[in-house]
Amino acid sequence: MKFSYNWLKELVPFKESPEALAEFLTMRAFEVESIEKKGGDTVLDIKLLPNRVSDASGHLGMAREIAALKNFKVQNPKSKQISKSKIQTKNLLQVTIENPDDCLRYTGRVMTDIAVGPSPKWLRERLKTCGLQSINNIVDAANYVMLETGQPLHAFDLDRLNNGRPGRKNIAVRRAKKGEQIETLDKKMYALTPDILLITDGDTPLAIAGIKGGMASGITERTRTIVLESANFDPMRARIASQTLLLKTDASYRFEHGMDPNETMAAVNRLAELIRQLAGGNIAGGAVDAYPKKVIARKILFSVSGANCLLGTDLDRAFYQKAFARIGCTVAPKSGDALFVTPPIIRRDLAIPEDLIEEAGRILGYENIAPRLPELTAIPARRNDERHWEDRVRDYAVGAGFIESMLYAFTSDRELGQFFVDPVTAPELENPLSPETRYLVPRVLIKYATSAVENLRNFDAVKIFGVGKSFRNASKEKKQKTTGVDERRDLIFVLASKGAAGEHEFYEMKGVLDRLFETFGIADQWYDDALTTVEHVHAAKLFHPYRVAQIKIGDEQIGMMGEIHPAILDGLKSRARVVAAEINFDLLWKCAQDEVEFRPISKYPAVIRDIAAVVPESTKTETIQNVIERTAGELLIDTDLFDYFQDEEMRRAGIKNLAFHLTFQSPDRTLTDAEIEKLVTRVVSALEAQNWEVRK
């Protein structure tokens, strides 16, 4: 919005140059977007905040802002007393408002014997500075007072109302009727809707309320008697009309943001006196003032200590009282450090104590507030255990070389078919965006396996992980209606490498999981490769039938790990074997412990020996490990399964070959070959005692 520097200087005795004033306003009130020289004046283009249009859209309002910040007094324009006339406005004009919510106040004055003509040079130049064209002395005066006070005003030709019939004229504020039209002062026709508010003489539309006047009552050179309108229209009505008609004016901009209805009388009196100076004539006595619901000032309970706490200051009560008085508030002390503050109604932005605190900070100057850390009692938030362990998983997995993937929880018939998953187990969306998002994924592992295969087309190796939700219908019978959806959060690890047979990835995954459990303080995990018939049925569709194991903690199964079934990988056209682990994350984190026992790392070297045992196919890995660890004693610090072998001949014979790394280390000495050999021999004897064939 454009403001005249010279005009502001007439109202407030500041000494700053236009550039200095622009910087001051930008830092303390409103951003000045540009400065432009125009003749002997300077135009400041100031960006008003929407909540400050009501009080700062006029030069007087901007002057009040500058005066408050600089502690000056505004030099209000000198106006002569409204001249008294024997003619009374109420005898010439009556006003009716159909709906008080549409028009909070309508104030009208009448002037007689005016002479319409061109405006003086000073008025034309001032309007031009602010971006308005000169029309005639009556219209120019209305625009000038709007620029001065912020209150939009309008003038009608009184004699043209009610089709020129003699007698008291009528002005009615009402909604448009269906099919009504109006020709505005710019000679454009507008079709009106019942949402649009009009100024009429009862029948004929005279103006679009708060936006633009009509030709039917416009001021002409023959006009001698005029009605001066100063009204307050509902912001929503003004906005609707402006948007519907695609018609924006200086008046509509102000009304859309809300104005103070208590300013209408002062503005119309100012306009009447200015027109008398410019066009002569007489001002009829009194005014017609329709004000159905009077708007009164609101009180705000303000706390000095609360304001100081928020601002980080130690200001006393006297400062706040003076600061609020400078912006036009009335202040009354209350008990303690409280104040009752009543802002002027025109300051519609002041509604709560925080608004007043902001004003106090602006008047003090934010640059004058010393930086200080807030004094708060630090109460840590209660730990979310689930989130805590999820973060621990991320830290561990990233450290282990995995990349987190967050994948969509939707799937399709095609993808479910690739993994041999019955769609009846998957919750179906009522309104999917596409066939690819028809279902919620019943086993989030399939999304990660698919992602790994796709990434293998561009990378030689893939290591991804994630915590995602699996959704399954609670009832899984095809002919039975579902009874709800079961949700489960699964932790998924997937790894694959091109250019190798892929057998070692299974054991690499086991090592990844072992270290994860160790990180979580879980010591009783084990892997059960002896699946029951039911477990085989569920696992065989997704995992390789002979490269799969249950992941257990104690006696509870928490997941599965294994190589993705070759038939699935063939269907996906995978370029390598893919190994995956699927763990019920909710069960995992509930078993986790933050307290972990740490032992110092021995400074003496460790010695590794390999040993393999050919055992019956039903023998659990844990059973073999237990025999080894019981026999080897305390010097054995780790037993790690690193190879699993079973060819077709061994499968027919019902046996398998398991190979282990045995790590020996002493905390206080270097172990000799003789000691190691003695321990290994003891382990071999213990394994052979189980009727197992041992290979070293």
Torsion of CA 65, 67, 68, 72, to 10 degrees: -170
Mean pLDDT confidence for 659-676: 92
Give me the helix-helix angle, 137-149 and 121-129, nearest 10°: 50
**Topology (CATH level 3) of domain 89-290:** Phenylalanyl-tRNA Synthetase; Chain B, domain 3 (3.50.40)
As to burial, measured by CB atoms within 10 angstroms (0-12 exposed, 13-18 middle, 19+ buried), residue 414 is: exposed
Identical topology for domains 89-290 and 385-591: no
Mean pLDDT confidence for 654-666: 92
Confidence of residue 475 (pLDDT cuts 50, 70, 90): low
pLDDT at 88 over 60: yes
pLDDT at 503 over 70: no
Give the Cα separation of 599 and 525 in Å (integer): 20
The pLDDT value given to residue 160: 93
More confident: 82 or 311: 311
Confidence of residue 506 (pLDDT cuts 50, 70, 90): confident
Structure tokens of 568?
A: 């699935």
The pLDDT value given to residue 202: 86
**DSSP conformational letter for 51:** G
pLDDT at 477 over 50: no
Q: What percent of the chain has pLDDT over 90?
A: 73
Give the Cα separation of 268 and 603 in Å (integer): 96
| pLDDT tens track for 399-443 | 999 999 999 899 999 999 999 998 998 999 989 989 999 999 999
With residue 519 as reference, give the H or E element that holds it: helix 504-519
pLDDT at 694 over 70: yes
- The CA-CA-CA angle for residues 237, 238, 240, to 5°, reads 65
The pLDDT value given to residue 600: 80
Structure tokens of 200?
A: 């009429």
The pLDDT value given to residue 533: 47
As to burial, measured by CB atoms within 10 angstroms (0-12 exposed, 13-18 middle, 19+ buried), residue 696 is: exposed
Confidence of residue 445 (pLDDT cuts 50, 70, 90): very high
Distance (Å) of CA 678 to CA 283, 429, 632, 673: 124, 65, 9, 8
Of 405, 386, 409, nearest to 471 by C-alpha is 409
| pLDDT tens track for 222-257 | 999 999 999 999 999 999 999 999 999 999 999 999
Cβ count within 10 A of residue 107: 25
Contact 280/114 with Cβ under 8 angstroms?
yes
Contact 440/410 with Cβ under 8 angstroms?
yes
Give the Cα separation of 643 and 412 in Å (integer): 37
Mean pLDDT confidence for 131-148: 96
Give me the helix-helix angle, 317-326 and 353-364, nearest 10°: 90
Give the Cα separation of 171 and 151 in Å (integer): 20
Structure tokens of 71?
A: 């502690």
Q: Which amino acid is at 599?
A: R
Give me the helix-helix angle, 304-311 and 353-364, nearest 10°: 60
Distance (Å) of CA 561 to CA 7, 491, 543, 623: 81, 11, 8, 19
The pLDDT value given to residue 596: 58
| pLDDT tens track for 349-408 | 999 999 999 999 999 998 899 887 766 777 888 888 889 999 999 999 999 999 999 998
Q: Which amino acid is at 119?
A: S
What are the helix (H) ranges across 196-263? 235-245, 250-256
More confident: 79 or 101: 101
- The CA-CA-CA angle for residues 113, 115, 120, to 5°, reads 140
Pairing of strands 93-97, 169-175: parallel
Confidence of residue 622 (pLDDT cuts 50, 70, 90): confident
The pLDDT value given to residue 79: 58
Structure tokens of 19?
A: 């550039």
The pLDDT value given to residue 173: 97
Structure tokens of 375?
A: 């004094």
Q: Does domain 300-368 have CATH number 3.30.56.10?
A: yes
Confidence of residue 478 (pLDDT cuts 50, 70, 90): very low
Assign 120 to helix, strand or coil. coil
| pLDDT tens track for 162-183 | 988 888 999 999 999 999 999 9
The pLDDT value given to residue 109: 96
Give the Cα separation of 156 and 214 in Å (integer): 9
**Topology (CATH level 3) of domain 385-591:** BirA Bifunctional Protein; domain 2 (3.30.930)
pLDDT at 631 over 70: yes
**Topology (CATH level 3) of domain 607-695:** Alpha-Beta Plaits (3.30.70)
The pLDDT value given to residue 500: 61
Contact 204/182 with Cβ under 8 angstroms?
no
The pLDDT value given to residue 593: 82
Mean pLDDT confidence for 118-140: 96
Q: Hunting for tokens 């104590």 — which residue is that?
A: 353
Give the Cα separation of 235 and 255 in Å (integer): 5
Q: What is the C-alpha end-to-end distance of the chain, expressed in Å?
A: 91
Of 159, 198, 158, 144, nearest to 176 by C-alpha is 198
Rg, the chain, Cα only: 43
| pLDDT tens track for 265-302 | 999 999 999 999 999 999 999 999 999 999 999 999 99
Mean pLDDT confidence for 676-686: 93
More confident: 623 or 237: 237
Distance (Å) of CA 205 to CA 160, 161, 501: 12, 10, 89
Distance (Å) of CA 37 to CA 3, 34, 41, 124, 563: 12, 10, 6, 17, 78
Which of the four CATH numbers 3.40.50.620, 3.30.750.200, 3.30.460.80, 3.30.56.10 does domain 2-70 have? 3.30.56.10
Q: Domain segments of the chain: what residues?
A: 2-70, 89-290, 300-368, 385-591, 607-695
Pairing of strands 338-342, 300-303: antiparallel
| pLDDT tens track for 118-127 | 999 999 999 9
Instruction: Print the SS3 string covering 398-456.
Output: HHCCCEECCCCCEECHHHHHHCCCCHHHCCECCCCCCHHHCEECCCCHHHHHHHHHHHC
State the average pLDDT for the chain. 91
| pLDDT tens track for 588-617 | 988 888 765 667 888 999 999 999 999 998
Give the Cα separation of 242 and 55 in Å (integer): 21
Confidence of residue 152 (pLDDT cuts 50, 70, 90): very high
The per-residue DSSP string of 456-492 comes to TTT-SEEEEEEEEEEEEES---TTS----EEEEEEEE
Assign 193 to helix, strand or coil. coil
The pLDDT value given to residue 530: 63
Contact 566/419 with Cβ under 8 angstroms?
no
HSE of 427, CA atoms in CB hemisphere, 13 A: 19
Contact 145/277 with Cβ under 8 angstroms?
no
Confidence of residue 324 (pLDDT cuts 50, 70, 90): very high
As to burial, measured by CB atoms within 10 angstroms (0-12 exposed, 13-18 middle, 19+ buried), residue 227 is: buried
Q: Hunting for tokens 């009832």 — which residue is that?
A: 475
